[in-house]
Structure 1
Amino acid sequence: MENMRKKPRPRRSFTPEFKTEIVDLCQRGDRSVGQVAKDFDLTETAVREWVRQAEARRRWQRRPQGEVIFHSDRGCQYTSGSYAQLARELGVRLSVGRRGSAGTTRWPSRSSRR
């Protein structure tokens, strides 16, 4: 029996315009990344990488000038390590309130409810 292995496909290169069009198709929402990759005979890994790179470029293009401070409560989503890492990468300073200081979310006193 002959060797059943597929020959490796030669490496292809794509223009930035083509990659942008593929990313736009993925982000439109009517087709999955896998479906777009299949339709254009691309690997799903390559398409996902193009989408990731486009999102990173978009984040850096939208960067505000000056210091950005994000203030939040002490919810677990705001105090996680991965959230702090993303904030550092984006140059955002995190700020959390003191423990137990509900401030604006206090229940009204009995006298004000009458």
Structure 2
Amino acid sequence: MKFRFLLWMLGYLMAKASRNNPAFQSQLAGKELIFQLQTFDSKVARHFVVSGQRLVSKPGAVDEPAFAISFKDAAFGFATMQAKNKQLAFMQGIQDKDILIKGNPGLVIWFQGLTKYLKPRKKTV
């Protein structure tokens, strides 16, 4: 349940950033694609549609995403995406075959770059 909520929240934050954050919007420029995050068995899956510098997320899997990141199970997916050093956690998961990437690996790197725009802003005093 935590992983499903995490994917929903990720979609919510990215959709909001695609409406309000010019830097995030510039990363979406020229991209028309669908990608998804899921478990190996696809019981937990969410896909993300990028079109016209906007991003929306929807529950479930699609047949032919530009790329898909699959985690061995929901608990592992949640732990990996919440890890302090996400890059190390992803690399270790890929090496151990607990994370599978299907599709264009260049787009996976692009997606990981998007996440830096989702961090909370520091409040100025």
Give the number of the structure with larger relative contact order, counting CA–CA contacts within 8 Å between residues 6 or more apart: 2
Structure with a larger share of its residues in strand: 2
**TM superposition score normalised by structure 1:** 0.26
* Higher share in helix: 1
